[in-house]
Structure 1
Amino acid sequence: MALYIHWPFCVSKCPYCDFNSHVRDSVDQDQWRTALLADLAYEAEFAPRRPLTSIFFGGGTPSLMPPATAAALITAAERHWGFAPGIEITLEANPSSVEAARFADFAAVGVNRVSLGLQALDDETLRFLGRAHDCVEGLAALDVAQRYFDRVSFDLIYARPNQTPAEWEAELARALAFGTDHLSLYQLTIEPGTRFATLLARGDLSPLDDDLAADIFELTRSQAAAAGLPAYEVSNHARPGQESRHNLAYWRYADYLGIGPGAHGRRAGVATVRHRKPENWLSAIADQRHGIVEEEALSAEKQATEALLMGLRLEEGIPLAKVERVIDRKAVSRLTAQRLLANDPDRLRVMPHAMLLLEAILREITRSH
Structure 2
Amino acid sequence: MLHIPSSPISTQQTDLEELALYIHWPFCIAKCPYCDFNSHVRDQVDHDAWQTALLFDLRHEYKVNPKPRISSIFFGGGTPSLMRPQLVAKLIAEADKLWGLMDSCEITLEANPSSVEASKFADIASAGVNRVSLGLQSLDDQTLEFLGRAHDVAEGLAALATAQQNFDRVSFDLIYARPGQSLDDWRSELEQALDFGTDHLSLYQLTIEPGTRFETLVRTGKLVPADDDHCADLFDLTQDLTKAAGLPSYEISNHARTGQEGRHNLTYWRYGDYIGIGPGAHGRRLNTATERHKKPENFLSAVERNGNGLKVEQALSPDVQATEALMMGLRLGEGVDLDALAEKTGLAIVDMVDQAEIQKLSVLGLVDRDGVRLTVQPKGMPLLDAILPKLISDVLRT
Pairwise TM-score range, normalised by the shorter structure: over 0.9
Equivalent residues in 2 for 1:90-239, closer than 5 Å:
90-239=108-257
Specify the alignment match of 1:355 in structure 2: 381
Q: Secondary structure at the match of 1:352?
A: coil
Query: How far apart are 1:352 and its partner, in Å?
Result: 1.1
* TM-score normalised by the chain length of structure 2: 0.91
Contact persistence 2:282–2:291 (CA under 8 A) = yes
Q: Which one-letter code corresponds to 2:367 in the other structure?
A: L
Gaps of 5+ in 2: 1-18, 343-348
Which of 288, 305, 320 is the matching residue for 2:323? 305
Determine the C-alpha separation between the residues in 1 that align with 2:369 and 2:288. 33
Contact persistence 2:66–2:98 (CA under 8 A) = no
Q: Count the aligned residue pairs.
A: 369
Q: Secondary structure at the match of 1:302?
A: helix
Query: How far apart are 1:48 and its partner, in Å?
Result: 4.6
Specify the alignment match of 2:311 in structure 1: 293
Q: Which one-letter code corresponds to 1:344 in the other structure?
A: D
Whether 1:344 and 2:390 are equivalent positions in the alignment is: no
Contact persistence 1:8–1:20 (CA under 8 A) = yes
Q: Secondary structure at the match of 2:102?
A: strand
Contact persistence 1:88–1:246 (CA under 8 A) = yes
Determine the C-alpha separation between the residues in 2 that align with 1:343 and 1:257. 32
Equivalent residues in 2 for 1:22-61, closer than 5 Å:
22-61=40-79
- Aligned-residue CA RMSD in angstroms? 0.9
Determine the C-alpha separation between the residues in 2 that align with 1:31 and 1:351. 48
Determine the C-alpha separation between the residues in 2 that align with 1:326 and 1:136. 52
Query: How far apart are 1:337 and its partner, in Å?
Result: 3.1
Determine the C-alpha separation between the residues in 2 that align with 1:295 and 1:326. 27
Which of 59, 62, 72 is the matching residue for 2:80? 62
Query: How far apart are 1:334 and its partner, in Å?
Result: 2.8
Contact persistence 1:48–1:268 (CA under 8 A) = no
Whether 1:260 and 2:286 are equivalent positions in the alignment is: no
Query: How far apart are 1:124 and its partner, in Å?
Result: 0.5
Contact persistence 1:304–1:326 (CA under 8 A) = no
Determine the C-alpha separation between the residues in 2 that align with 1:136 and 1:198. 30
Q: Secondary structure at the match of 2:178?
A: coil
Whether 1:330 and 2:348 are equivalent positions in the alignment is: no
Gaps of 5+ in 1: none
Determine the C-alpha separation between the residues in 2 that align with 1:257 and 1:74. 14
Q: Which one-letter code corresponds to 2:385 in the other structure?
A: E
Determine the C-alpha separation between the residues in 2 that align with 1:131 and 1:54. 28
Structure 1, residues 241-297: CA drift from partner, whole Å, max 9, x if none?
000000000000000000000000000100000000000000000000000001100
Determine the C-alpha separation between the residues in 2 that align with 1:328 and 1:196. 36
Structure 1, residues 31-88: CA drift from partner, whole Å, max 9, x if none?
0011000100011111251111100000000000000001110011011111112100
Contact persistence 1:250–1:256 (CA under 8 A) = yes
Contact persistence 1:113–1:152 (CA under 8 A) = yes
Contact persistence 1:48–1:267 (CA under 8 A) = no
Specify the alignment match of 1:314 in structure 2: 332
Contact persistence 2:365–2:379 (CA under 8 A) = no
Q: Secondary structure at the match of 2:376?
A: coil
Q: Secondary structure at the match of 2:150?
A: coil
Q: Which one-letter code corresponds to 2:268 in the other structure?
A: Y
Query: How far apart are 1:160 and its partner, in Å?
Result: 0.3
* TM-score normalised by the chain length of structure 1: 0.98
Contact persistence 1:301–1:326 (CA under 8 A) = no
Contact persistence 1:61–1:93 (CA under 8 A) = yes
Q: Which one-letter code corresponds to 2:358 in the other structure?
A: V
